Amino acid sequence: MERTLLSLWQAVPTGDIKQSQLADWLELSRKQTARLLRKWSDEGWFTFTSGRGRGNSSHIQWHINVEEHYEKQITQLIEEKSIETASKYLLFDWSPEVKQRLLHQFRSNFGYVQNSPDNNDKLIIPRKYPLLTLHPLYAADIHSANMVANVYSRLVSVDESGYITPELAHSWDASSTHLRLYLRKEVYFHDGSFLSATDVVDCLNRLRNDSSYADLWKPIVSIMSSSPHIVDITFPEGCSYCLHMLGMINASIYKETPHQTIGSGSFYVSENNESKTTLQAFGHHFQQRPLIDLVEFIQVSGDFDVAYRSTCEMTEETFQVESDSGFGVVILNAFKNSPINQKEVRDYIHYAIAKHRHKIGQFHNRAIANHHSCLIGQQQQPITLPSPKRPHLEQPLIIKAANYTDGATRWLKESLESEGISVEIQWMSFQDKLTDTKADQKADLFIHGEVFEMNQNFSFFYFLANGHSPLATIMKSQPLFNNYLEQYAATPFNEWTALNLKMEQDLIASSIMLPLYYEKRHIPFSIDVMNITISHFGYVDFSKLWVRPFRVD
């Protein structure tokens, strides 16, 4: 099946047509188009008669309904349970009615499968976005981080309230300048080898020396081992958040070989390619073995609804589980050498954003306008801005945004232009946005979406300090905010809420970071999917899921 042939069928009916128009529709050169027309004509899809002479029309006579023919082929693939193969064809340019039929057939193959031919219980989940990485050090997006959370283990676990529980470390001794961790014995990596203190030291030293995390780990001066199951971390000037930092996804412990990165988590990766990633339960996990044997993520088109369904019942009945899906902010590049570094310019933009923020839901249907704080449950008093004088700008302001903030970016453009501020948008791919952390930023404004990992207080600090946030790069160049960041290491963790609120209030008052929206996800689950718990970044903890068995009357 060829995507270009289906696109041609959808665009060009039987009749006269110029070959140059065909090339434009197919977005190919005339030479490539001529070669494909000959090929498809030889295969019997149509008869193509080339126009004689410059400017004369050609003629195409279709013999086969391409969409109907392809639909039958995909239906057969779905019936044969070849959903991994069939999924890539859903990205073709189908007519709306055929797309709906295929999605309906395709959807029935997702969910929880019991008593499969290989005698495994399997959860098959549609995946809208490709998996960027499985390495803990580079998992800067939530989809990769969710996979890392299942494949690797951390030394400790931190819940939403900031409570710390043992994971790879069964206990620890802590002082104001030193942390000693005691590792569990006989913890298996997925290749059958045992975890050692050397593995932990190697991972943590690599993490703290990485440019994206160096500022966060700055208080740590040494990480070393004095025995096979003891790790010592030293921070002479204090580091109140050391244990919390060890519970983060990027602090996962792994072992590298020339061919792969190996974890010790509840699942291991048995297959990973562009169309499918398969997690398989690890039978020697040091904690509870997952109740599901396999979790398969199949790549689908962006309009596919993601639901956790069960195929062991004939019902379509589901219930909704609400999950926080982060927040959005507008970040103003206050230290760029452009008009944006002028407080009166930023204040006018701040005024325009506050004036139009209530309309964000019209552009992003999951967004809830946020007039107060990025910290859920904390109500910062909104800053009242009098109607300022509109500044005169010689050139448009540059907005840098990724496709996942498309709705919010369109809202920002329309809001600013309605207040007399001309803007241009520089679009980036999601992957490019993750690595766009240069100090010399060319943009004036950023639309940034952030999802907190677990504990809100630590995650907000991480958002301010980590190298993947455009805000972190801006703050490093301003002594006031850099001094704030240094206070965290010396401030007891139970006092961080006040410190976070003070930091956020000053960023808002300086018109540098402006809250825009909260985002919620409502995930449908079949009624027989049990023990649903939300883990890192608002995702489901697959290691805890199970499905009530099919009832036979």
525-545 tens-digit pLDDT = 666 667 777 776 667 788 887
d(CA 50, CA 34): 10
pLDDT band at 323 (very low <50, low <70, confident <90, very high): low
Of 158-172, 216-230, 306-320, 479-493, the range with the lowest mean pLDDT is 306-320
Contact 526, 309 (CB under 8 A): yes
pLDDT of residue 232: 98
DSSP state of 342: S
Is residue 552 over pLDDT 80?
no
DSSP state of 173: E
Could you give the angle at the alpha carbon of 327 between the alpha carbons of 479 and 413, nearest 5°? 85
Token output for 466: 């980590």
Of 5-19, 242-256, 427-441, 442-456, the range with the lowest mean pLDDT is 427-441
Q: Give the percent of the chain with pLDDT over 70.
A: 84
Token output for 94: 């189908």
Q: List, in order of start, the domains of the chain with CATH numbers.
A: 3-64 (1.10.10), 110-152+265-317+527-548 (3.40.190.10), 153-261 (3.90.76.10), 323-520 (3.10.105.10)
Closest by CA to 243, choosing from 486, 455, 534, 483, is 455
Is residue 17 over pLDDT 80?
yes
pLDDT band at 553 (very low <50, low <70, confident <90, very high): very low
Burial class of residue 211, CB neighbours in 10 A (0-12, 13-18, 19+): exposed
Looking at 110-159, list the stretches that DSSP marks H as alpha helix, in order from N- to C-terminal side: 142-151
pLDDT band at 275 (very low <50, low <70, confident <90, very high): confident
Closest by CA to 106, choosing from 306, 295, 317, is 306
29-41 tens-digit pLDDT = 888 888 999 999 9
pLDDT of residue 319: 53
H helix or E strand, kind and range, residue 10: helix 3-11
Q: Are strands 397-402 and 445-450 parallel, antiparallel or unpaired?
A: parallel
H helix or E strand, kind and range, residue 174: strand 169-174
pLDDT band at 314 (very low <50, low <70, confident <90, very high): very low
217-222 average pLDDT score: 95
65-77 tens-digit pLDDT = 999 998 888 888 8
CA-based torsion, 26, 31, 36, 42: positive or negative = positive
pLDDT of residue 304: 59
pLDDT of residue 171: 97
Is residue 357 over pLDDT 90?
yes
Inter-axis angle of helices 343-356 and 406-418, nearest 10: 110
What is the secondary structure of 342-355 as a DSSP string? SHHHHHHHHHHHHH
- Exposure on the CB side of residue 67, measured as CA atoms within 13 A: 18
pLDDT of residue 434: 66
Of 93-97, 210-214, 410-414, 476-480, the range with the lowest mean pLDDT is 476-480
All residues at 6 or more sequence positions from 368 whose CB lies less than 8 Å from its CB, including other chains: 361, 517, 518, 519, 520
Is residue 162 over pLDDT 90?
no
112-130 average pLDDT score: 68
- Calculate the average pLDDT of the chain: 84
All residues at 6 or more sequence positions from 79 whose CB lies less than 8 Å from its CB, including other chains: none
Is residue 212 over pLDDT 90?
no
pLDDT of residue 311: 47
